[in-house]
Amino acid sequence: MSNNDVVITGLGATTPLGGDVASTWDGLLAGRSGVAALEEDWVERYDLPVKIAAKLEVEPTEVLPRVQARRLDRCEQVAMIAARQAWADAGLGEDGVEPERLAVVIGTGIGGAHTLLDQDDLLETKGIRKVSPLTVPMLMPNGPAAHVGLELKARAGVHAPVSACASGAEAIAWAWRMLRNGEADVIVAGGAESAIAAITMAGFAQARTMSTRNDEPQRASRPWDVDRDGFVLGEGSGIMVLERGEYAKARGAAVYGRLAGIGTSADSYHITGPDPEGVGQTRAISVAVRSAGLEPEDIGHVNAHATSTPVGDVGETVAIRKALGEHPVLTAPKGALGHLLGAAGAVEAIATVLSIRDGIIPPTLNLEEQDPGVVQDVVAGEPRKLDLTAAVCDSFGFGGHNVALTFVPA
């Protein structure tokens, strides 16, 4: 194992399919949906056209101590839960890393939306004396990274990429660069998001990007299906512990796999719409493969961003075809998880690592009739066993952010 190797030694997650990595992975393989009808009163109060979402299966307040939970926004809560899982999984303990060689990189697309809304309501209805003095630390987008960094005493850097739906993947890419540059030995990286609220639901609905299949929540998120009509908003967090290969080897760490290469780019085309030619997406995927020292034919699987939107799904497969050819087998976890925004890329990266480790690809949920514009082989119906020597996970976000990660076995 070379000193330039970046290895994954710990995984943590809390998602609409489960409160940890194992239950989330089992849910993906079983083809289970985390989408359900919303019961919040604001759905009817504002007559929202979208009445479904993918909420967490395990409430954070059932996991965190009560006092700590009250001092964290929900977005920070899920980050803390997933980070603790990943840290424990990596076996680093309380004094496992010198603080000056430990960093945290956790991205989010929106940040503390619930705190901002709740505290604004308090200000308007009850005055300034009722506004919490913790409001700003709870709503700031770097809050998840900052709180995890404080708990772990990370001093090599605490960073919070904010790149919309590519944020979690970009955090992992950032960690790869830091480790390769020798800035740290261990980095806790991933994404966190919890923004299922009236204003975000209304905003996405007005932009006509969300599914309105309210009568069939579990069939609403349908990546690549001819009847797809938009994404389903989800929440959660995915966190990895990444280490320099030599450091992990020296401490005898168990390794899930290697992050062999990364690619990032920007479309510079439109604030919400992807470049119709897929130039930026293609570039990110190509760079991720090239930086791993691999060729397109080495990539056997792509865990795709595919959100279930009419335009974006097909465009992504065109970019994959341009970068890699038609041979990689595809899957789209958002059929089961919904769209976790800034956490999506991190949770899906974890799924990619587990696909390589276990030699199995989870099915794309609700893919009943594949869009004819998608020419690749998409796993649907049942999981597919496949020995993989390399796989790519890609993530894209509003603003034209493109990130691709290449994973290989340990």
Q: Annotated catalytic sites, by residue?
A: 165
Q: Report the distance separating Cα 159 and Cα 143, nearest Å.
A: 10
3-state per-residue secondary structure call for the chain: CCCCCEEEEEEEEEECCECCHHHHHHHHHHCCCCCEECCCCHHHHCCCCCCEEECCCCCHHHCCCHHHHHCCCHHHHHHHHHHHHHHHHHCCCCCCCCHHHEEEEEECCCCCHHHHHHHHHHHHHHCHHHCCCCHHHHHCCCHHHHHHHHHHCCCCEEECCCCHHHHHHHHHHHHHHHHHCCCCCEEEEEEEECCCCHHHHHHHHHCCCECCCCCCHHHCCCCCECCCCCECEECEEEEEEEEEHHHHHHCCCCCCEEEEEEEEEECCCCCCCCCCCCHHHHHHHHHHHHHCCCCHHHCCEEECCCCCCCCHHHHHHHHHHHHHCCCCEEECCHHHHCECHHHHHHHHHHHHHHHHHHCEECCECCCCCECCCCCCCECECCCEECCCCCEEEEEEECCCEEEEEEEECC
Report phi then psi at 227, rounded to 5: -100, 15
Q: Report the distance separating Cα 186 and Cα 7, nearest Å.
A: 10
Bridge partners, 6 (sequence order): 244
